[in-house]
Structure 1
Amino acid sequence: MTTTSSRPATPADGGTAPAASPNRMVAILAIGGIVVAMTQTLVIPIVASLPTIFDAPASDTSWIITVTLLVGAICTPVSGRLGDLYGKKEMILISLLPLALGSAVCAVATTVPVMVAGRGLQGLAAGFIPLGISMLHDLLPKERTAGAISLMSSSLGIGGALGLPFAAAVAQLSSWRLLFWLITACAVGLGVVIWRAIPAPAPAARTGLRTPFDYVGTLGLAAGLVALLLPISKGAEWGWTSPLVLGLFGGAVVVLLTWGWWELRTPDALVDLRTTARPVVLLTNLASILVGFAMYAQSLILPQLMQAPAETGFGLGQSMLQMGLWMAPAGIAMTLMSPVGARITRARGPKTTFVIGGLIMSLGYGLSAVAMNTLAGLAATAFVASAGVGFAYGAMPAIILGAVPATEKATANGFNTLMRSIGTSTSAAVIGVVLARMSISFGDHTLPTEAGFRVALLLGCGVAVAAAALAATIPVRATEAPSAAS
């Protein structure tokens, strides 16, 4: 289908074709987003085996997961800003380099420090998805942006959902190291395809090219996020009232307030806090935290329920591979709902899509109340809740893109992705506390009780309802098009 637009695709550097198919661009970048997002859940199926694999205590091997979340949270807004300044395609290609290198390092790692270093390098690729969203907004015809943005944004959840069964299957049938070699190959292949097949945005979309980079703001944000997210991730292990955790939370408040003071006074701020404080952007970001919480909660609860021993009376006794296969439809649900959400966005605006997404997520959690003790019921819970995530994730960037200047689109999307990361990190901590406090001894293991699982699911449901309610207050006209701001 031939379309016309005020934002035609332009030739990329490096000898690409003079024009690119919109479908091909969307498919390539969405696949890239899924690959990057898969790194979040890649090691979950082997978490229990990590201490044995590396002959190290669990307190050390837990950094293999934590470091990726920390590095990803820090670099996402930074990558977005660099994309606005120096080119989104360039930053997308650069982000794939540490993904390939880090995956290769993990594949050959024999000690925890080497594995942590590789996982940290993987986290540097987290900016790929918000950069891809902004790049598609610049390149595609306006009538195609809603669907493309929805799919690209949902790739964050799709990759996380598909990564679980994929990693479980490979780890059980082959070697866990193969997982990282496959990601290495995908990263290299994606880099070549993107370089050759996708054009760079027109110069008009890169008006901030000569603006200096805010190094002080970058260091301040990094320090503040580490001080905030580290105790959230490790609080259960270190003790929520320990001096270290309380000191880090206090330090986070001081550093982030100081960072905000600097960002409001520097002309070349990493994040324009005045734009971020606009009601549309602020409320969308706050609701994004809640969606991130609710999304991650079900991915923590349902696998544990499926794998809990049947002898408990509520567990379903599934193997790692069986659990992964039962959870696989969740990723498919997000993929299927992306075009549906895009149609609602075009007809009624992204705010409506966002509200619907939150309500569908809560409905999915509600299913668990009556079907928690069956595999089909839990699979249905995951499918419906993930469908709601697909709606919500597709709507968030559409609202943001319509509310920020052209020179801040990638930065604003990166900051929104950071808000989702804060939500997922908080979810891991809160759900972990709930399940740990409501647990029983079962043989040599400690397992959450049935009541603990129900409370955690109820909490996820409540947060999803709160996300929908908060999204309903975003001051965006119901029929406002997401591509209105060019």
Structure 2
Amino acid sequence: MKKTSVPESVVSPVRAGRLSAGALAALGVLALALGTLQSVVDPALPLLQRELGVSPAEGALIVNAVLVTGAVVAPVAGKLGDRYGGKRVLIRLMAVVSAGGLLAGLAPNLPVLLLGQVLQGAMVGALPLSFILVRKHLPAGGSQAAIGLVVALFTAGGMVGTLVAGPIAEGLSWHGIFVLPTIVIIAATAVVTRLMPHDPPTRSDDRIDWPGAVLLSGTLLALMLGLVTVTGAGLPPYAIGALAVAVAALATGWVVVERRAASPMVDLRMLAQPVMWSACLLTFVITAGFGMVSFLLLQLFAVPADGYGFGAGTTGIGLFLLPGAVAGAVSDSVGGIAARRFGPRAVVVVAAVVTAATMTALAATHTAAWQLVLAKVLTAFAAGVATTALLAGTATSVEAENTGIATGLLVVTRVIGIALGFQVGGVILVAGTDPATGLPSEAAFATGFITAGLVAASSLLVVRATRKGTRA
């Protein structure tokens, strides 16, 4: 009986070619440019709000559009890369990101800019795809070093974006902060296309959970748009109720699809484990509070200096935010060590106390720029250490075969928490806007800081409750 031949490239992960220094360099430049494109919006957000004539709550959507797409793309990109080849999927994904960057750079209004940001959110998938490529084309030791290099350059790109957004926006226009990094992405992708060896796909029976991805993105976008609409449009009660019903329906549909899917994007059955649902709840609370703090601080830097603000431009805001970005990057390496030595819950307790105390002090006094910079450093470090400790602790607590599912669920929760925190911060400022000046009142910022502190402090209650539940 004659056997059916199967191409070796499908059944065996044989390395199709050695990864050259040029290909690795192009992959690194691509990561650097992607990190830059992702971070240029933060210091430029007050400028974008003024240029487009939108409220802080609508401005928060500009950042959240990328986060929402990232939350959806992150779990899917690795599966696509395994199935069709990392290089092939990476190139197509970068085409989407490039289209989004150019669209945002040419955007005449907020809806077009939001569409560009949604497309740019696909950049999150570049990291797992890069990991696939280096693992297939380098030996174990070399692949670990290459993965570290790619992650480091992506993080460094975030700092570069924070610094260059101001000079670009003030020297050219705000359109340039999107166009220039996108040009580098296009060039780096062209080099990757030419130099990167083709990697063989891996045969997989797992299906891509497209319905789950669509419903999750729809739920998050409906929630963000709903918050903006409710605060800014003066809707009647029945319209607000209709929005709430729509969000609830989308969320329920997503849960139903994920529970029935053979290969769900987010395996909700993992939440039945106490260690998993408690880690997700703590991650959500911590990141929601941090998202509020981040949004409120960058808005306060931009408030005119003739009142209670500092009148900082995009360059100044970038410089003020840089120490916090460095603290956040350092916290990722400290979180795992702290979790191993003290335990994730102890780390969360300390981070919650630090954040709550910082926000209480900031609500009482915020008259000097160094106070805001210090608050950003403390909260960024606390949130980073706590969420990384939870991630590391959970990864070592679940079964080895469920590590990817568990960490993926926490990453998605982290993104959702930050996005919701940003949006709630915007809603608080809109609700406290002074009709005479069109600017948020100082009391609105104080309310936001107190609210963020209370959210952070609530994680202490979660730690206590989940500890009792785990013991039971």
Shorter-chain TM range is 0.7 to 0.9
Question: In the TM superposition, what are the counterparts of 1:10-159 in structure 2 within 5 Å?
Answer: 13-16=16-19, 31=32, 34-35=35-36, 37-38=38-39, 41=42, 43-51=44-52, 67-79=65-77, 81-82=79-80, 94-110=92-108, 114-128=112-126
Q: Provide the alpha-carbon RMSD of the alignment.
A: 4.7
The reply on whether 1:303 has 2:304 as its aligned counterpart is no
Counterpart amino acid of residue 289 in structure 2: A
Per the TM alignment, residue 458 of structure 1 is displaced from its structure 2 partner at its CA by 1.4
- Matched residue, 1:423: 417
The reply on whether 1:319 has 2:309 as its aligned counterpart is no
Query: Could you say if the C-alpha distance between residues 215 and 298 of structure 1 is closer, same or farther in structure 2, counting changes exceeding 3 Å?
Result: closer
- Is contact 1:288–1:423 with CA below 8 Å preserved after alignment? yes
- Of the structure 1 ranges 289-298 and 75-84, higher mean CA displacement relative to structure 2 is found in 75-84
Deviations 1:236-257 (A, max 9, x none): 2234765444323212323332
Deviations 1:98-122 (A, max 9, x none): 2223212333445666544422211
Alpha-carbon distance between aligned partners in 1 of 2:56 and 2:378, rounded to the nearest angstrom: 34
- Matched residue, 2:177: 179
- Is contact 1:37–1:155 with CA below 8 Å preserved after alignment? no
- Matched residue, 1:274: 269
SS at structure 2 position matched to 1:421: helix
Deviations 1:2-36 (A, max 9, x none): xxxxxxxx986554159x99xx9997797477336
Query: Could you say if the C-alpha distance between residues 356 and 16 of structure 1 is closer, same or farther in structure 2, counting changes exceeding 3 Å?
Result: farther
- Matched residue, 1:433: 427
Query: Could you say if the C-alpha distance between residues 273 and 346 of structure 1 is closer, same or farther in structure 2, counting changes exceeding 3 Å?
Result: same
Q: Unaligned regions of 5+ residues in structure 2, if any? A: 1-12, 468-472
Per the TM alignment, residue 391 of structure 1 is displaced from its structure 2 partner at its CA by 1.3
Query: Could you say if the C-alpha distance between residues 295 and 95 of structure 1 is closer, same or farther in structure 2, counting changes exceeding 3 Å?
Result: farther
The reply on whether 1:447 has 2:439 as its aligned counterpart is yes
Deviations 1:282-331 (A, max 9, x none): 2222222222222222222223323323333x323333432332222111
1:293 to 288, 304, 321: 288
SS at structure 2 position matched to 1:302: helix
Alpha-carbon distance between aligned partners in 2 of 1:197 and 1:394, rounded to the nearest angstrom: 35
- Matched residue, 1:341: 335
1:463 to 433, 444, 455: 455
- Is contact 1:14–1:195 with CA below 8 Å preserved after alignment? no
1:378 to 366, 372, 381: 372
- Is contact 1:350–1:399 with CA below 8 Å preserved after alignment? yes
Query: Could you say if the C-alpha distance between residues 29 and 79 of structure 1 is closer, same or farther in structure 2, counting changes exceeding 3 Å?
Result: same
Per the TM alignment, residue 171 of structure 1 is displaced from its structure 2 partner at its CA by 0.8
Alpha-carbon distance between aligned partners in 1 of 2:48 and 2:346, rounded to the nearest angstrom: 38
- Matched residue, 1:256: 251
In terms of Rg, which structure is larger?
Answer: 2
Q: TM-score, normalised by structure 1?
A: 0.74
Q: Unaligned regions of 5+ residues in structure 1, if any? A: 1-9, 476-486
- Matched residue, 1:166: 164
- Of the structure 1 ranges 289-298 and 391-400, higher mean CA displacement relative to structure 2 is found in 391-400
Query: Could you say if the C-alpha distance between residues 393 and 220 of structure 1 is closer, same or farther in structure 2, counting changes exceeding 3 Å?
Result: same
Q: TM-score, normalised by structure 2?
A: 0.76
Equivalent pairs: percent with the same residue? Answer: 24
Alpha-carbon distance between aligned partners in 2 of 1:345 and 1:29, rounded to the nearest angstrom: 32
Counterpart amino acid of residue 75 in structure 1: V
Query: Could you say if the C-alpha distance between residues 97 and 301 of structure 1 is closer, same or farther in structure 2, counting changes exceeding 3 Å?
Result: same
Alpha-carbon distance between aligned partners in 1 of 2:87 and 2:423, rounded to the nearest angstrom: 35
